[in-house]
Structure 1
Amino acid sequence: MDLLALADFNLVARHGGVGKAARATGRPKATLSRRVTELEAALGLRLFERGARTLKLTQEGKTLHARSAALLTELEETTAAIASGGGEPRGKLRISAPLLFSQIAMGKLAAGFSLQYPDMVLEVTSEDRSVDMVEEGYDLAIRVNPHADESLIGRAFLHDRLVVVAGPGVARPQDGDAAPAVGHGLDKGRSSWIVKSEAGPKTIAFAPVLNLSSLVMVRDAVLMGAGAARLPVSLVSRDLAAGRLVHWGDVDAPDTALWALYPSRRLLNARVSAFLDHLKRAFPKGTPDELAAFIEL
């Protein structure tokens, strides 16, 4: 098989079209199109469905792209490492990370990583959706309690837990009453929180007075006295210690875990391995307090 043709096929597949791949890489459209056609002829398979204005991978094309993209990356990294004498990792590292973790820690983590590895370019996208790492060209994805995915492997590097908090001026509701609450998407469809206590689980009824999409906005509204909220303890631990917020209880639910995920492959990407080590140094115990330390007073 022609490796150059396979590499050009992956370029076109990753960018979603010959024109887009040509613009992104500076390669001639005619060359990319010819290489893809030659690869299809050599394999005896149609890898793309060609419309008037669209180019879509066939099932065979999706399978080839998923299995060959990682192998080509490993081959490029191996030859680069040999050529450089096995020096420091270099090149681009693309990461997708959830919004809250990005707001709290990712800026400082990225800066520290960049200073340690000046020959690398780190690109971080903040989003809570589950990205397709192969199709969208990500090397690493950080996710909260991810669903099992046979195409990905990874490790949990940080744990957190949810607590119900309120400002000192917000009274905890009595039986039958509902607390004013600052809602988040996690609370959609709910009318109460269940918290732990020595006597067993207790229910706190609430009625939203605000609904906000960002947990940082929720915390800020709670600090202003708008109502109670369910938040990660890492986000509010300093406010609790300073008396700016009052702890109403730990939510009766499993702890949350942040995972670093990457495409399953025989050899671990050297750039990904370097960032995983960076996460381990930043969060050696993986506790909420270590994440809270990134938040400025």
Structure 2
Amino acid sequence: MDLLALADFNLVARHGGFGRAARASGRPKATLSRRVAELEAALGLRLFERGARALRLTEEGRALAERTGALLTELDEAAAAVAAGGGRPRGRLRISAPLLFSQIAMGRLAAGFALKFPEVRLEVTTEDRPVDMVEEGYDLVIRVDPDPDDSLVGRAFLRDRLVVVARPDLARPADGSPVPAVVRGAVGGVAAWAVATPAGPARLAVRPVLGLASLVMLRDAARAGVGAARLPVSLVSDDLAAGRLVSWGAVDGGGITLWALYPSRRLLSARVAAFLAHLQDAFPQGRPEELAGYIAG
């Protein structure tokens, strides 16, 4: 595929017409029209619907623009960085991060990054659902224990673990009868939690009484004494140290790993590389205590 023709197509698509693209770029309108026509012929597709007064992308044209626009930008930036001897990161950086990490840490991380790299336009969205990075235009996603994906590469930058906590005045029954529990999501279906205690592995019978959407809400409900909850160490370290909550044991198999992921077929842009380094600086050893200290700080 002719990259110059592809770049001209994206230029026209971005400006919404041959005339506007020609005025913005200083390129002859006839040249842009010819290059787009050549690209359409090479692909065997119509990329624009040409009306008497308007130019509109076809579905195929829109898909091509979405998939190639970011790649062409990265190529331009890579060439500019090499020519400038590696210059400072600049341009737009879109990140998707999970709800809890966004609530407790992403604000400070984003602010620190923005101060360090003022020429980068950082945008962070919060969602726990899997996102299609290419289709939705993300440069980097942060996810908890993501499923393997051949189209993505990534780095684990933070590890945490789950513990069962409760308010000190909520007694753990000695006879093994169920205790009230606060759970994430719908109430029902949970009969027991496997925990590791100093005395060895144990099963804690539970009776879910409250279902909530976020771990921060679970922590607040556990503080209020509604029931026991399974929560990350980083989120409850201060409560455990202050005696507001007590630990009933670590959750068996309750390790959590946060990953920073990006598309494997893309060049690693200077912006993404800078944010990965920023994460490494914030959590050099990737331990839950580092995240707890980051939250407290």
TM-score normalized by structure 1?
0.82
Partner of 2:259: 259
Contact kept? 2:89, 2:117, Cα under 8 Å: yes
Contact kept? 2:180, 2:209, Cα under 8 Å: yes
Of the structure 1 ranges 209-218 and 142-151, higher mean CA displacement relative to structure 2 is found in: 209-218
The DSSP-based 3-state class of the residue aligned with 2:175 is coil
Call closer, same or farther: CA 1:7–1:172 in 2, change over 3 Å: farther
Contact kept? 1:10, 1:65, Cα under 8 Å: no
Aligned pairs (5 A) from 1:195-234 = 195-234=195-234
Contact kept? 1:70, 1:265, Cα under 8 Å: no
Call closer, same or farther: CA 1:73–1:263 in 2, change over 3 Å: farther
Amino acid in the other structure paired with 2:128: D
Contact kept? 1:173, 1:204, Cα under 8 Å: no
**What residue ranges of structure 1 are gaps of 5+ in the alignment?**
13-20
Contact kept? 1:181, 1:210, Cα under 8 Å: yes
Structure 1 position 75, deviation (Å): 1.2
RMSD: 3.1
Partner of 1:120: 120
The DSSP-based 3-state class of the residue aligned with 2:218 is helix
Structure 1 position 6, deviation (Å): 2.2
Partner of 1:86: 86
Deviations along 1:7-54, one digit per CA (max 9) or x if unpaired, are: 466689xxxxxxxx6xxx5x1256799776652322225779xxxx99
Partner of 1:28: 16
The DSSP-based 3-state class of the residue aligned with 1:102 is helix
Measure the CA separation in 2 of the matches of 1:187 and 1:296: 31
Aligned pairs (5 A) from 1:230-245 = 230-245=230-245
Partner of 2:273: 273
Partner of 1:247: 247
Partner of 1:108: 108
Contact kept? 2:104, 2:295, Cα under 8 Å: yes
Residue-pair matches, total: 279
Partner of 1:18: none
Amino acid in the other structure paired with 1:120: V
Measure the CA separation in 1 of the matches of 2:126 and 2:111: 16
Percent identity of paired positions between Structure 1 and Structure 2 = 65
Amino acid in the other structure paired with 2:171: A
TM-score normalized by structure 2?
0.82
Amino acid in the other structure paired with 2:16: P
Structure 1 position 180, deviation (Å): 1.1
Call closer, same or farther: CA 1:65–1:205 in 2, change over 3 Å: same
Call closer, same or farther: CA 1:196–1:36 in 2, change over 3 Å: farther
Give the number of the structure whose alpha-carbon radius of gyration is greater.
2
Deviations along 1:237-265, one digit per CA (max 9) or x if unpaired, are: 11101111010010001511000000113
